[in-house]
Structure 1
């Protein structure tokens, strides 16, 4: 089975996409549990998403160490862009309890590694950068269909597209991870 995934780009895309969607939808249903169980479900869901990257070289995921300072700075800029619309509508930033903040960080990192890391790389192998940008954005939006109201899915798609375009233009996943963490902590 693993040899098929390594040698067939389409099979790799299907396997990663199916896995990521199942994890995201399971996590979305599990967070309806009361109290600490929801936080645990979020943290475990974030970790489970990271499993999608097993077997991929760090460089293919956009996780190399060159120009790390600039990539971190780019991530802060992405975070500002992602929270700007919400900040313009609201005068005060909400403060997350520590447990939810830890969960938000775990989910943000896991989602980026899964969607703009492993899934993006698999889609790029299959159909090039356009397939990677569009495909990862569409699957990202679909994955959030159970956890977000329908009216918010346009914003989810726009955020996913911005992060995927950064991944393509900079060959970088550090920036999207940092930007996503900032946005999730602020929203």
Structure 2
């Protein structure tokens, strides 16, 4: 039997979208369009993201919830949806937009994957996509030297000796 935290991990983003949807009516910088885009990104619905962008949604959309402002690309990197990251970058999403703590999409993509989250299949998929997301962000101008509020850079998030760390360092050196 799965631990309850596994279920919470999977359903928490959807719950937060619902909470944020009601809060955003009070916040001028969060539009219904950006909330729909966020929901599609969190769900990993590439088709819906593509449709929303075609209908005029901003690839640099931000949403503010509980005082935390994040971007569409931030959530795509956090959820490690490679195709959505590439789609947003192809629509000129800014890879260096950070949250209030200074965390960028590159930092999120470089974070180690928690093997307790999800099935073995999901962890393998995330592990395979992680270096490709890092590469896509770097190729589109993500700045590895940026630091968050704790003076941590994206490379500090990467695991020592992993493919993502090696790829990250190789791509960063080319810049």
**Normalised TM-score (structure 1):** 0.31
**Normalised TM-score (structure 2):** 0.33
- Tell me which of the two structures has the higher relative contact order, counting C-alpha pairs closer than 8 angstroms and 6 or more residues apart: 1
* Structure with higher strand content: 2
